[in-house]
């Protein structure tokens, strides 16, 4: 998907993904403190947040690597 992008464009997209992962991580840290009542919706949001954090940080790391070949 990102193979034929210019290296500067790849770097911008990688930075965007890493920034997104920071936002997701911050929401994971802050989330439990805001919600004193533990219900299923909060747990679901935390799980979705973890998934998004993993995906966005992985995309950022993959895109920030120089392309081999």
pLDDT, one tens digit for every residue, the chain (69 residues): 556 667 777 778 777 777 777 777 777 777 666 665 566 676 777 777 778 778 877 777 777 776 654
Largest separation between any pair of C-alpha atoms in the chain: 52
Q: What is the pLDDT of residue 26?
A: 77
Q: What is the pLDDT of residue 50?
A: 77
Domain ranges of the chain: 7-64
């Amino acid at each position: 998907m990102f193979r034929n992008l210019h290296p500067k464009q790849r770097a911008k997209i990688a930075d965007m993904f890493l920034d997104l992962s920071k936002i997701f991580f911050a929401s994971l840290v802050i989330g439990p403190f805001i919600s004193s009542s533990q219900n299923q919706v909060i747990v679901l949001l935390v799980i979705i947040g973890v998934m998004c954090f993993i995906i966005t940080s992985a995309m950022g790391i993959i895109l920030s690597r120089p392309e081999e070949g």
